[in-house]
Amino acid sequence: MLGWSAAELIGKPMALLLYKTEDGSTAPASDPFCLSSALRDGAIHRIQNDTFVKKGGAVFPVQYVTSPIREADRTVGVVVIFQDITARKQQESLQQAQLSVSHILAQAGTVEEAIPSLLRIAGEMGPWSMTLLWHSGPMGDRLTCLGSWVRPSHEWDEFLTVCRNSEFPPGMDFPGIAWATKLPLWIPDVLTDTRFTRAPTASRLGIRAACIVPIRTGNVIHGVLEWYTDTPRAADNHLIHILADTGMKIGQFIDRARAGQALRATHHMTQSLLASLPGAILLCGWDLHIQYANTLAQQYFSLSGESLIGRPLSECLALSQSDLQHVAMEWTALPADSTHRLSERECEVTNRLYRYRFFPVATPESSQYQMGIVLWDITEDKRLQDQLIQSEKLSSLGTMVSGMAHEINNPAQAILSMAELIQEEDDPGMVKEFAADIVGYARHVSNVVRDFAGYARSAGRDGETEIDMAERLMEAVKMVRRGPHFGQVEVVTRFESSAFVRARKGEIDQVLVNLISNATQAMEGVGSLTLGTAQDGAWIDVTIADTGPGIPDSIRPRIFDPFFTTKPSEKGTGLGLSIVHKIVTKYAGIITVDSTAGHGTTFRLRFPALSQ
């Protein structure tokens, strides 16, 4: 490790040989190897981080133990045992770089915004001097250079110019090969590889080893990452794995960014269409409470300006109880694929006469549906059927896609967190436990996908089992704890009695994970989360309380409104509490919220208890 022979070392002052000052000259440390301390106190001294100099002047990191040599109760010398910890330092650097990549992607809104920092961090994952990012062009048949990073000590501008002016189809040059094979590629010396079309420029500049990994999500390739260094280097399987993982993280980020853009575009189009229709539209659940109202409906039926969301339909329209019961019976008996229309009726609201008609709102995968009502002023007498059908198709599509993304995000975050923990864990037992958790969360994702049609079927009751709410609360905490927002939140449980309900476990998990995740995000990782269960006669009560900033009075009536959110558009879809409300009401439950600004929020769920 040191490069000196025994003859060159014996009898020499070691500190002068192994230590360097900041200006490069050799000089003894104040207490080299803790020799004086060991001789003075007779104790063993352990140093975890220090730096030694080799015979040729190269510096390398070490850790060492200095132990005293004792004879007849007297310290007569010391033994210094040291170890080269370069590999450990490199591993620590790689782990820190991986965490930095995850942090950058979590904060960025677009790929273009993340590229400068992303490529710099990626370049520090090993002995690299340059990093390039290639992405598929508008037609999806060529790779073009989207960004680059070069160490300041390297003058490689000529090579960057060649890359920016190049386009590679699948199979051409290293980026095209990685794109076509969908596999990482390590080139120990690029100058000996005939597939490298940029070899002339690379040869002049001294570019030698390279690693290329695809940016992928599953089998979809979004682009390619390239790393280059100025010395030949044999393949490093561990480093390849880390770089390939980086490519997958970027691919997942691109997928999420594109899905978010598509969702926002679909939502904007749906809202624009519904708002522009020349009629008032209300959508209701099975409980005949309003879940959506377009601008005209808000203008017609909310004289005080307050939101109509969550209010009973009978409060907004002048419909008698008998009329509501008749319509509900007719609606329930109507098959989803029936061409029969519910009859048109008239009502008078605030001295204005409206003609209205109820209609089913169905998703293509579901035979169950919600109820919608369209109202228009009789004097205008305009028919809205064609436009309404189109807008509802867009609304259903937007809700399904964004709901799926929202519900998969929490277990996906948990899987990512535990996978990162496995990389740092040496205990086989802990690795096995983390792996088992990953399998469980992956199955949960599968169940969410499988049961998603059931979420749209508000009356679907297949696959229900008896569920212990206290157990599901603790499982939900376990999932959310693995996410990035849990922090140092303290969990307090108040399970007063057995609390069993009959429902789908996956849907109850969706409800609890959503509420607990919202609570921990509101507290920003610091505070107290209180979970409770109790039985009140024929009802099971479940409470989830946080010590966060609370919900302002001005927005509390709208929190169950689909697409309503106070988060930035790139961090929230506004569907979480809407999904919670839908699932709770599906099982004849009730959800309420108590919140005081600055004093936290409490969500209360009530479900019918199992029959004794």
Element (H, E) at 48: strand 45-53
The CATH number for 321's domain is 3.30.450.20
CA nearest neighbour of 126 among 17, 228, 274, 221: 228
Same domain, 428 and 531: yes
- Is residue 388 domain-resident? no
Is 518 inside a domain boundary? yes
Q: How far apart are CA 411 and CA 483, in angstroms?
A: 8
Q: How confident is the model at residue 258 (pLDDT cuts 50, 70, 90)?
A: confident
What residues make up the domain containing 363? 277-383
The residue-averaged pLDDT of 523-536 equals: 91
Max CA-CA distance within the chain?
Answer: 114
Q: What angle do CA 249, 251, 255 make, to 5 degrees?
A: 115
Give the pLDDT band of residue 22 (cuts 50, 70, 90): low
What confidence score (pLDDT) does residue 206 get? 93
How many domains would you assign to the chain?
4
Backbone angles phi, psi at 256, to 5 degrees: -65, -40
Q: Give dist(CA 456, CA 507) in Å, integer.
A: 11
Tally of CB atoms within 10 A around 592: 9
Q: Where are the alpha helices (DSSP H) in 380-533?
A: 385-424, 428-456, 469-481, 505-523
pTM for the model: 0.40
> Within this chain, do residues 548 and 599 fall inside the same structural domain, yes or no?
yes
Q: 371 and 402 in one domain? A: no
**Considering the domain boundaries, does residue 268 fall inside one?**
no
Q: Are residues 489 and 372 in the same domain?
A: no
pLDDT, residue 173, reads 94
pLDDT the model gives residue 124 = 79
Full 3-state SS string of 238-272? HHHHHHHHHHHHHHHHHHHHHHHHHHHHHHHHHHH
CATH of the domain at 100: 3.30.450.40
| pLDDT tens-digit series, residues 159-171 | 999 999 999 999 9
Q: How far apart are CA 15 and CA 34, in angstroms?
A: 11
Residue 358 and residue 347 in contact, taking contact as beta carbons nearer than 8 Å: no
Residue 212 lies in a domain: yes
| Cβ proximity of 53 and 59 under 8 Å | yes
Q: Which residues of 232-264 are buried (b: 16+ CB within 10 A; e: fewer)?
A: ebeeeeebbebbbbbbebbbbbbbbbeebeebb
CA distance 147 to 568: 27
Give the number of other Cβ atoms within 10 Å of residue 277's Cβ.
20
Answer with the one of 215, 232, 263 that is the final residue of a domain.
Answer: 263
Which of these ranges, 241-255, 283-297, 444-458, has the smallest mean pLDDT? 444-458
Do 533 and 424 share a structural domain?
yes
Encoded tokens for 529 = 């989360």
pLDDT at position 386 is 34
pLDDT of residue 227: 92
pLDDT at residue 533 in the model: 94
pLDDT at 291: 84
Q: What is the amino acid identity at position 181?
A: T
Using pLDDT thresholds of 50, 70 and 90, give the confidence band for residue 336.
Answer: low
In a domain, 292, yes or no: yes
Q: Establish if 520 belongs to a structural domain.
A: yes
Q: Residue 522: helix, strand or coil by DSSP?
A: helix
Q: Please say if the pLDDT value at position 494 is more than 70.
A: yes
Side chain identity at residue 610, one-letter code: L
SS (H, E, C) 560-611: CCCCCCCCCCCCCCCCHHHHHHHHHHHCCCEEEEEECCCCCEEEEEEEECCC
Query: Do residue 230 and residue 101 come from a single domain?
Result: yes
Residues 359 and 404 reside in one and the same domain: no
Question: Are residue 50 and residue 131 in the same domain, yes or no?
Answer: no
Domain identity same for 98 and 80: no
State the DSSP code for 280: E
- State the Cα–Cα distance between residues 510 and 151, nearest whole angstrom: 47
Cβ pair 454, 464 in contact under 8 A? no
Is the pLDDT reported for residue 65 higher than 90? yes
Evaluate if residue 381 carries a pLDDT over 80: no
CA distances in angstroms from 84 to 19, 22, 228, 393, 595, listed in the order given: 15, 21, 26, 65, 57
Q: How confident is the model at residue 546 (pLDDT cuts 50, 70, 90)?
A: very high
| SS3 of residue 211 by DSSP | strand
| Sheet with 74-84, side-by-side order of all strands | 45-53, 59-71, 74-84
d(CA 38, CA 392): 80
Q: Residue 131 — very low, low, confident or very high, per pLDDT cuts 50/70/90?
A: very high
In this prediction, what percent of the chain has a pLDDT beyond 90? Answer: 25
For the record, the structure tokens of 430 come out as 């802990």
Q: 323 or 47: which carries more pLDDT confidence?
A: 47
User: What's 415's domain CATH number?
Assistant: 3.30.565.10
Q: Are residues 483 and 601 in the same domain?
A: yes
Q: Is residue 269 part of a domain?
A: no
More confident residue, 531 or 338: 531
Using alpha carbons, select from 602, 605, 556 the residue that is nearest to residue 309: 556
List the end-to-end C-alpha distance of the chain, in Å, as a whole number.
Answer: 76
Q: Is the model's pLDDT at 393 over the cut of 60?
A: no
Q: Tens digits of per-residue pLDDT, 340-363?
A: 556 677 777 777 777 777 777 764
Q: Is residue 271 part of a domain?
A: no
C-alpha Rg value of the chain to the nearest Å: 32
Q: Is 576 left (phi over 0), alpha (psi -120 to 50) or beta?
A: alpha
Boundary (domain end) residue, out of 47, 65, 84: 84
Mean pLDDT value across the chain: 80
Q: Where are the alpha helices (DSSP H) in 425-500?
A: 428-456, 469-481
What element of type H or E holds 298?
A: helix 295-301
Highest mean pLDDT among 80-94, 333-347, 515-529: 515-529
Same domain? 485 vs 597: yes
Out of 235, 263, 291, a domain closes at 263
337 & 443 share domain: no
